[in-house]
Amino acid sequence: MTPAEARLDGKRVVITAGGGGIGAAMARRFSEAGARIALCDIDAAAAEAVAVDLPGAIGLGADVTDETAMDAFFNAAGAHLGGVDVLCANAGTGGPVAPLAEIDLADWRACLSVNLDGAFLACRWAARRMGPQGSGAMILTSSTSGLYGVPTRSPYVTAKWGVIGLMKTLAMELGPKGVRVNALCPGAVEGPRMDRVVAAEALARQMTEAEVRALYAEGTSMRSWVTADEIADMALFLASPAGRHVSGQAIAIDGHTERMT
Ligand SMILES: NC(=O)c1ccc[n+]([C@@H]2O[C@H](COP(=O)([O-])OP(=O)(O)OC[C@H]3O[C@@H](n4cnc5c(N)ncnc54)[C@H](O)[C@@H]3O)[C@@H](O)[C@H]2O)c1
């Protein structure tokens, strides 16, 4: 990859759930590479706080499960950026941690809604623009949970497999029009989200949090966790000219998962 191929100068990037974690890391990385950013987050203050540090960026409050709110965000993003070249459909929530037999329908639906309805609404909006313009890149955030089964995480696992199905299908629909679609499969990412997941799993499995954290690392060949910046680096590669012929792929950034916890 040449330095020029890693640049996204003038490209218009839309990111969901960009107010923290992986989405915020993506926003910063894309901005450093020269892109202009519009991001949303259910936490409007968090979205604004990320955007304010990025030249020409906007950050707005919107819940990815709310079609009306997302329409408003997409209209604002499209007007601000003048179009879209890159979509990061990144929003996701971990959902309940319990055996399937104990999961409420409402909790199941809430998890699928953020992960799948959110990706659907974002991808549909981008498809309606990228298809006719004959270019663009979509990057959906799945998970290593979209590649394996994980006891006590059935809603999240189901949703993240669904994200990969959506990605595969969109890559086929839009590839002939010059649009690439890929999915990221992060492993366990250092940060507050996994701190919450570890705490819930420790409770559900009657283990200490340190034991759960160690299990995540031991399940990978590299015996490691990953960082949000590493996920953002892969997103940048996929969005950039360097990734010009990468489409339809679910790419793990995880130190090679051998088994899930
Ligand atoms: N953190 C991990 O270890 C990990 C691993 C694999 C996959 N993922 C996936 O990566 C993506 C980002 O995860 P993260 O760790 O950055 O998450 P996070 O929990 O840190 O949340 C990031 C942001 O999402 C926002 N958000 C939550 N629900 C939302 C909604 N309904 N609408 C809009 N914004 C919402 C939050 O306010 C927060 O600012 C998700 O799809 C997640 O499933 C994360």
**Cα–Cα–Cα angle for 11, 12, 18, rounded to 5 degrees:** 125
In this predicted structure, the answer to whether residue 66 has a pLDDT above a threshold of 80 is yes
Note whether 50 and 18 are within 8 A (CB). Answer: yes
Is ligand 1 within 6 A of the CB of residue 63?
Answer: yes
Which residue ranges make up each domain of the chain? Answer: 4-187+226-252
The percent of residues in the chain predicted with pLDDT above 90, rounded, is 94
Encoded tokens for 240: 């950039």
Is the Cβ atom of 19 under 6 angstroms away from ligand 1?
Answer: yes
State the DSSP H helix or E strand holding residue 167, giving kind and residue range, or none if neither.
helix 154-174
pLDDT > 90? residue 242:
yes
Query: Strands 36-41 and 12-16, how do they pair?
Result: parallel
Is 3.40.50.300 the CATH classification of the domain at 4-187+226-252?
A: no
Q: Which of 74, 156, 161, 237 is catalytic?
A: 156
Residue 56 has pLDDT above 90, yes or no: yes
Name the one residue in this structure whose structure tokens are 């640049």. 7
Tens digit of each residue's pLDDT (9 = 90 or more) over 95-134 = 999 999 999 999 999 999 999 999 999 999 999 999 999 9
Centroid of ligand 1 to alpha carbon of 158 (angstroms):
16
The pLDDT of residue 261 is above 90: no
CA 76 vs CA 32, 53, 129, 193: distances in Å: 22, 19, 14, 28
Question: What's the pLDDT at 65?
Answer: 98
- Tens of pLDDT along 18-28? 999 999 999 99
Rounded to whole angstroms, the Cα distance separating 246 from 260 reads 27
216 is catalytic: no
**Spatial distance between the Cα atoms of 124 and 130, rounded to a whole number of angstroms:** 10
β-strands 36-41, 58-61: how paired? parallel
- With a 6 Å cutoff on the Cβ, whether 177 touches ligand 1 is no
Q: Return the ligand 1 atom nearest residue 93 CA.
A: 43
Q: Which pLDDT band, with edges at 50, 70 and 90, does 1 fall under? A: confident
Looking at residue 200, what is its pLDDT?
86
Q: Among residues of the chain, what percentage have pLDDT more than 70? A: 100
Nearest residue (by CA) to ligand 1, atom 25, is 17
- Pocket-testing residue among 41, 64, 87, 194, ligand 1, by greatest number of atoms within 8 A of Cβ: 41
At 136 the three-state DSSP class reads strand
Express each pLDDT in 139-177 by its tens digit. 999 999 999 999 999 999 999 999 999 999 999 999 999
Indicate whether residue 21 lines ligand 1 (CB < 6 A). yes
8 vs 31: CA distance, rounded Å: 8
**Spacing, Cα 35 to ligand 1 middle (Å):** 22
Confidence at 5, pLDDT banded by 50, 70, 90 = confident
* pLDDT score recorded for residue 4: 85
Q: Is the CB of 35 under 6 A from ligand 1?
A: no
Residue 5 and residue 243 in contact, taking contact as beta carbons nearer than 8 Å: no
The pTM (predicted TM-score) of the whole model is: 0.97
> 172 alpha carbon to ligand 1 midpoint, in Å?
26
261 lines ligand 1 (CB under 6 A): no
Whose CA is closest to atom 12 on ligand 1? 22
Q: 3-class DSSP state for residue 169?
A: helix
